[in-house]
């Protein structure tokens, strides 16, 4: 057992990302190391302070010597690894994912409260999505406005599961969960009770603040008015670990 003040051994590895030599702790993911070195890898579900979900698949990278694409958020670095993050193959893949997200549900930016402050919208610009090549499902999803302060619009949910994780891992309320599979999957509160009838919700608003789209918002906001602040999350996560 290590005594007070004894430093734990941390193995450092050297790898290449886009032909740039970088060093990192072997416990870090490719996505973490890339961000530490100013290398952009898109992501929608990953957020500092939360566990890894690997839900959006936007952070996929190529590894030299392998034909498989790997999730940057869930793949740890290794000695001698050579990673590519912005190849033509990856750009096509990411654009396809964003288009599928836009086609799956009803994302009408012009009337959305998060217009101009939406991570999905930003990714669409970044990936060059000026039209969607897939047929829209045009399915109608419920809007639950039963909560005193917030509402959830399932039409704008991208199933990143940030709300589920922050409620579980940071707030500890376990209000949110995912129900169903595939295109029928939805986030629900208290086993699909209306949010306003939830016995477990504390009303903290953490889920609303970290939602990347206009799915979780405050009451009283209209088009383009919803502002969100995610900077509190890494701080809260660090404080919990230091307790």
Q: What strands, in cross-sheet order, belong to the sheet with 69-71?
A: 20-25, 12-17, 82-84, 60-63, 69-71
Q: Are 15 and 75 in contact (CB under 8 A)?
A: no
**Mean pLDDT per 10-residue segment, the chain (243 residues):** 56 96 96 96 94 94 95 97 97 97 95 95 96 94 96 97 95 96 93 96 95 96 89 74 53
Contacts of 20 (CB under 8 A, 6+ apart): 37, 39
Which residue ranges form the domains of the chain, and what is each CATH number?
A: 12-85 (3.10.20.740), 91-231 (3.30.70.20)
pLDDT of residue 125: 96
Whole-structure pTM value: 0.89
pLDDT of residue 56: 95
pLDDT of residue 1: 44
């Amino acid at each position: 057992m290590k005594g007070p003040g004894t430093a734990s051994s941390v193995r450092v590895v050297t790898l290449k990302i886009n032909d740039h030599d970088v060093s990192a702790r072997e416990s870090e993911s490719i996505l973490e190391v890339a961000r530490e070195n100013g290398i952009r890898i898109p992501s929608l579900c990953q957020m500092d302070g939360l566990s890894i979900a690997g839900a959006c698949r936007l952070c996929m990278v190529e590894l030299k010597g392998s034909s498989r694409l790997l999730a940057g958020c869930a793949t740890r670095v290794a000695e001698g690894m050579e990673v590519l993050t912005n190849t033509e193959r990856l750009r096509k893949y990411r654009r396809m994912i964003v288009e599928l997200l836009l086609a799956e549900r009803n994302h009408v930016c012009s009337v959305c409260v998060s217009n101009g402050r939406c991570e999905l919208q930003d990714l669409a610009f970044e990936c060059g999505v000026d039209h969607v090549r897939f047929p829209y499902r045009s399915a109608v999803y419920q809007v639950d406005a039963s909560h005193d302060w917030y509402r959830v619009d399932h039409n704008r949910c991208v199933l990143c599961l940030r709300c589920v994780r922050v409620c579980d891992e940071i707030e500890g309320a376990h209000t949110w969960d995912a129900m169903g599979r595939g295109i029928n999957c939805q986030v629900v509160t208290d086993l699909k009770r209306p949010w306003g009838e939830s016995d477990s919700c504390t009303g903290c608003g953490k889920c609303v603040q970290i939602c990347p789209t206009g799915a979780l918002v405050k009451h009283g906001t209209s088009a383009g008015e919803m502002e969100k602040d995610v900077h509190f999350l890494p701080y809260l996560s660090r404080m919990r670990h230091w307790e």
